[in-house]
Structure formats: structure tokens, C-alpha cells
């Protein structure tokens, strides 16, 4: 949730943020009007309640002749107080509903939509020139089927479209990625966590995922629970209604979980293979820190993502995501996109977002500071996920259909250097 006091004192940055996102700028004025109505109704309620207390105290001091009139006045005031309290509550609910519609105030993100990102740099060397090597690269599914490590046909038979089996070295390759991420994260002070994959509406809504893209989330109405699309959700809810001690630095967690996404808005996109699927595994970094440290923490998470990409030897680029392509909770987001040879395009493999105090305000996660308590900042970032297999297979394939294992993953695969086609 946004800082209402900051909006009240200086609404222009909030208008500019909405404008940059391509969102409803007039929402700012509706929130200001609702805030004024709430404060006015609250003041009226408190004024009547004060009168009621004064009248109540006077009953005992009143004479027998005065008491009936005072009691009648007290009864009338009680009814007015009850009505004023109800009006105050309605005004507060109306303000809360509007405030929850407002996306986080952007912090340095470029203006524009999905195509208006800014490329910050290219890393990992130049993409391979397969033509110069004398062969046409196969896509990840053809490679996976030739190696007998990916089976989407039986995945669809068992669960429907966009499901799959990882087999043999495919399953172990995914596990190697996740374990390497675990080692990398713990070496940098992240506490490893196995997280719940079902959460309450309060936690899902508190992280900002029940807005425009709520149709992407699986919901279990019989239990009133949501399946998470990232362990960020559970980790954001971990310290709900708590006051943290951040005097020694940020609290850093690494969530390891299976993730679920309906992909409702992705009809026809990346339907072949395992690029865009309903179920996958992910290692997710999550950090609670002081707001003034959030920008530096964001760079730290990005650096760790890049360390992992270097470990698996992928060519990639880093982009600064445009405001209109940010989720509602993100103030700024950096994506790392790996090169996909068969589609000759960049594919997102990591994402790290600075959510400033937006999620913490919704979930009441605070820290004790001089003069009282204040909301903390929350940040998240991908350290490995199943989708990496797509880029890994395509970029490290060889002419005979085998795939070279990056040196950084070999220790997790018993020293395996090459995954060879089935039956060889």
C-alpha cells in the first residue's frame, strides 16, 4: 500500500508515477477526496463521542429534576455516535479499497509499456554463431526429447497442456541448478526456506498479486486458499504483523518451492516445450531491509543473479523494466534475459524487484526506529528456475544432439561433462 501521508502532502509524484505506468491518474484525486471524507467523518465521530462522555459524567451530578432531560439527551447522543461511527467505518473502507487499487510509486523505472525497457548491458560473451559451426541449432524440446530428458506428450496426457515430465538427467539438471542456487544464496547469508505453496487471501492480497493479474492465480474455493506462483508470496507473509530488528542488517531468505501459474493471459505464447508452463520449480531470494538501504540491496540481488548466470555460462542482457510493465508492488525491476538461439530473441530468466514499503504496509511488517515503528522495505529476485533449462540446452548443444554441461554444474552431476542422446 502507498504512503497516504506522503500522497496527501505531495500528490504530484504519485500522479507522475501513474502517468509513467499508463495507469489511471485520476485515482490520485479520488483517493485524496476519500481521505478527506474519512478524516472528516472520523472527526465528527470523535466529537460526538466526546460530548457523549461529558453528558454521561454529568448524569451522576444532576438533580432529580434535571436527570430525565440529561438521560434523554444521552440516549439521543448514543444514537448519533453509533451512526457517526458507522459512517466513519464506511469512509475508512472506501478509502482502503481505493488505496489498494494504487500501484507502488515507481523509483527510477523508465516510462512506457512492455517494449519501452532500457538495455543496461550485455554479459556472458557473444551468442554462438551456429552457422559458422556448420549446423542449425535444435530447440530445447527437440533436444530434450532426443536426450530423453523432457516428455511433454505424457505430461499433457496426465495433466493437460503446458505440463511435462523431466526425466533422468533432465530432472537431475534442474536439481543441480536449484542446488547451485541454494549454495550461492547461503554463501551470501540467505537463510534457506522450504515454503508453503498455499496461502490465505490476506497474504496473497498483501503482496499485491490479487490485482489486474489475479486471473493468473489458481484458487481453491473450498479451502479459500491460493496456489503461489512464487515463494515471494509466502516469504512476504512470513513476518506479517511483526516488528523486526534490522539493526544488524537485512533479513535475507531463499525460498525453494514448486510454483503454479494459470498463464491465462498467455494464449498462443510459447506453447512448445517448457518455456511457459503451469508448474515449475524456483529458488527465490527475498529480503527485508530498511527503506534507505533498498536501492543498494536491489543491486546486491541483481549481482547474485548474474553470478548464477555466469556459473551456467549463458549470454544474457540486463534490462531496466518500464513502468507500465511492472507488477503493482514493484517500484523498479531489473530482468536478466538469456539468448535463445532457435528463436533469435532474449528470454527472461531472472527478475528482481524493489517493492519499497508497499508490501510491508499491507502486511504490517515494521521495524522499531527512533520515535516509534516504521514499515520496512521488501525485495525479491530469482536465483534459478526450471525455465533456465531452455536456455542451457539450446546454448550448450552440439552438432550430434548432445549437450555440454557447464563446468559450474558438473560437481552437482557427479562430474558429468556431456549429456548424450538416448541409446548412444
Among residues 39, 348, 404, 420, the one annotated as catalytic is: 348
Residue 329: CB atoms within 10 A of its CB come to: 25
Was 58 annotated as part of a binding site? Answer: no
Among residues 15, 19, 39, 276, the one annotated as catalytic is: 276
Was 277 annotated as part of a binding site? Answer: yes
Was 93 annotated as part of a binding site? Answer: no
261 in catalytic set? yes
Contact 394, 140 (CB under 8 A): yes
Was 51 annotated as part of a binding site? Answer: no
Was 190 annotated as part of a binding site? Answer: no
Was 79 annotated as part of a binding site? Answer: no
Was 351 annotated as part of a binding site? Answer: yes
Among residues 41, 387, 394, 402, the one annotated as catalytic is: 387
- Rounded to whole angstroms, how far apart are CA atoms 135 and 153? 27
Residue 216: CB atoms within 10 A of its CB come to: 15
Was 279 annotated as part of a binding site? Answer: yes
276 in catalytic set? yes
351 in catalytic set? yes
Among residues 17, 329, 351, 353, the one annotated as catalytic is: 351
Q: Is 269 helix (H, G, I), strand (E, B) or coil?
A: coil
- Rounded to whole angstroms, how far apart are CA atoms 395 and 173? 15
Was 280 annotated as part of a binding site? Answer: yes
Was 284 annotated as part of a binding site? Answer: yes
Q: What is the DSSP string of 169-231?
A: HHHHHHHHHHHHHHHHHHHTTPEEEE--SEE-HHHHHHTT-SSTTGGGS-EETTTTEEE-SST
Was 349 annotated as part of a binding site? Answer: yes
Was 263 annotated as part of a binding site? Answer: yes
Contact 232, 255 (CB under 8 A): yes
247 in catalytic set? no
Was 348 annotated as part of a binding site? Answer: yes
404 in catalytic set? no
Was 403 annotated as part of a binding site? Answer: no
Was 59 annotated as part of a binding site? Answer: no
Among residues 261, 300, 361, 362, the one annotated as catalytic is: 261
Residues forming the annotated binding site? 230-232, 261-263, 277-280, 284, 348-351, 380, 382
Residues acting as catalytic residues: 261, 276, 348, 351, 387
Residues forming the annotated binding site for L-serine? 230-232, 261, 284, 380, 382
Amino acid at each position: 500500500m502507498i504512503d497516504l501521508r506522503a500522497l496527501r502532502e505531495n500528490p504530484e509524484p504519485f500522479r507522475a508515477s501513474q502517468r509513467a505506468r499508463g495507469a489511471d491518474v485520476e485515482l490520485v484525486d479520488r483517493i485524496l477526496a476519500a481521505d478527506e471524507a474519512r478524516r472528516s467523518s472520523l472527526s465528527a465521530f470523535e466529537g460526538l463521542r466526546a460530548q457523549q462522555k461529558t453528558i454521561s459524567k454529568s448524569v451522576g451530578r444532576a438533580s432529580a429534576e434535571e436527570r430525565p432531560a440529561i438521560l434523554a439527551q444521552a440516549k439521543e447522543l448514543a444514537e448519533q455516535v453509533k451512526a457517526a461511527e458507522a459512517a466513519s467505518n464506511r469512509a475508512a473502507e472506501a478509502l482502503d479499497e481505493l488505496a489498494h487499487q494504487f500501484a507502488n510509486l515507481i523509483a527510477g523505472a523508465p516510462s512506457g509499456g512492455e517494449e519501452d525497457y532500457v538495455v543496461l548491458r550485455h554479459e556472458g560473451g557473444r551468442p554462438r554463431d551456429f552457422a559458422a559451426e556448420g549446423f542449425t541449432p535444435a530447440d530445447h524440446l527437440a533436444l530434450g526429447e532426443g536426450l530423453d530428458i523432457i516428455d511433454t506428450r505424457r505430461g499433457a496426457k496426465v495433466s493437460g497442456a503446458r505440463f511435462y515430465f523431466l526425466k533422468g538427467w533432465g530432472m537431475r539438471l534442474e536439481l543441480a541448478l536449484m542446488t547451485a542456487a541454494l549454495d550461492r544464496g547461503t554463501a551470501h547469508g540467505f537463510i534457506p526456506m522450504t515454503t508453503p505453496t498455499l496461502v490465505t487471501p490476506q497474504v496473497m492480497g498483501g503482496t499485491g498479486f490479487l490485482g489486474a493479474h489475479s486471473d493468473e492465480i489458481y484458487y481453491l474455493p473450498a479451502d479459500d486458499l491460493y496456489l503461489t506462483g512464487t515463494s515471494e508470496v509466502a516469504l512476504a507473509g512470513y513476518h506479517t504483523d511483526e516488528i523486526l530488528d534490522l539493526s544488524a542488517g537485512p533479513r535475507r531468505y531463499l525460498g525453494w518451492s514448486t510454483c503454479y501459474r494459470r498463464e491465462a493471459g498467455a494464449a498462443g505464447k510459447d506453447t512448445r516445450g517448457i518455456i511457459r508452463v503451469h508448474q515449475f520449480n524456483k529458488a527465490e531470494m527475498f529480503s527485508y531491509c530498511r527503506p534507505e538501504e533498498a536501492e543498494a540491496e536491489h543491486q546486491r540481488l541483481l549481482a547474485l543473479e548474474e553470478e548464477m548466470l555466469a556459473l551456467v555460462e549463458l549470454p544474457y542482457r540486463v534490462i531496466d523494466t518500464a513502468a507500465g510493465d511492472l507488477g503493482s508492488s514493484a517500484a523498479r525491476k531489473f530482468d536478466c534475459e538469456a539468448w535463445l538461439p532457435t528463436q533469435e530473441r532474449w528470454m527472461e530468466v531472472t527478475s528482481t524487484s524493489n517493492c519499497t514499503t508497499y508490501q510491508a504496509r499491507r502486511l504490517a511488517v515494521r521495524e522499531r526506529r527512533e520515535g516509534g515503528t516504521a514499515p520496512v522495505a521488501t525485495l525479491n529476485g530469482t536465483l534459478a528456475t526450471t525455465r533456465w533449462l531452455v536456455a542451457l540446452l539450446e546454448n550448450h548443444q552440439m552438432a550430434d544432439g548432445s549437450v555440454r554441461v557447464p563446468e559450474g554444474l558438473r560437481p552437482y552431476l557427479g562430474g558429468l561433462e556431456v549429456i548424450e542422446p538416448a541409446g548412444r
